[in-house]
Amino acid sequence: MLTPQQNERITKVGPGTPCGELMRRYWQAVCPTAELSGAVRKKRIRILGEDLVVFRADDGTFKCVTERCPHRSASLFFGFIEPDGIRCCYHGWKYDCDTGQCVERPFETTPPHAGIRVTSYPVEAYGGLLFVYMGPDRAKAPLLPHWDVLARDDRPKKIRIMPVHKCNWLQIQENTADSVHTYYLHGHALMMAGIDLPGRDYFYRPIVSYDWDTSEWGVEKTIEYGGEQPEVEIRPPLIFPNILRIPEGPVEAIHFRVPIDDEHTRIIWVGLLPEGAGPVSSPESVPFAYEVDPPNTSIEEVDQTNFYGQDRVVWETQGVVTDRSIEILGASDRGIVLFRKMLLEQIDRLERGEDPTVAVVRDPEKNRIIDFPSASRYAQSAASR
216-236 pLDDT per residue, tens: 999 999 999 999 999 998 888
Burial class (CB in 10 A: 0-12, 13-18, 19+), 224: middle
Contact 350, 358 (CB under 8 A): no
Rounded mean pLDDT, 247-264: 96
Asked if residue 2 has pLDDT above 90, the reply is: yes
Q: Could you tell me the domains of the chain?
A: 29-136 (2.102.10.10), 148-383 (3.90.380)
Contact 199, 338 (CB under 8 A): no
CB atoms within 10 A of CB 312: 23
pLDDT > 60? residue 122: yes
* More confidently predicted of 249 and 362: 362
The pLDDT of residue 189 is above 90? yes
Stretch 19-45: mean pLDDT, rounded? 97
Distance CA 161, CA 291 (A): 6
Average pLDDT over residues 301-315: 95
Cβ atoms within 10 Å of 138's Cβ, excluding its own:
12
pLDDT of 94: 98
pLDDT band at 1 (very low <50, low <70, confident <90, very high): confident
| 148-178 pLDDT per residue, tens | 999 999 999 999 999 999 999 999 999 999 9
61-82 pLDDT tens trace: 999 999 999 999 999 999 999 9
Backbone angles phi, psi at 205, to 5 degrees: -125, 150
For residue 249, the model assigns a pLDDT of: 86
Residue-averaged pLDDT of the chain: 95
Q: Fill in the amino acid letter for 160.
A: R
What pTM does this model have?
A: 0.95
Identify whether the C-beta of residue 155 lies closer than 8 Å to the C-beta of residue 264. no
Residue 382 confidence (pLDDT): 57
Smallest Cα–Cα separation from 356: which of 142, 208, 161?
A: 142
**pLDDT computed for residue 71 by the predictor:** 97
Q: What does the DSSP 8-state code read for residue 147?
A: B
- Predicted confidence at residue 375, as pLDDT, reads 62
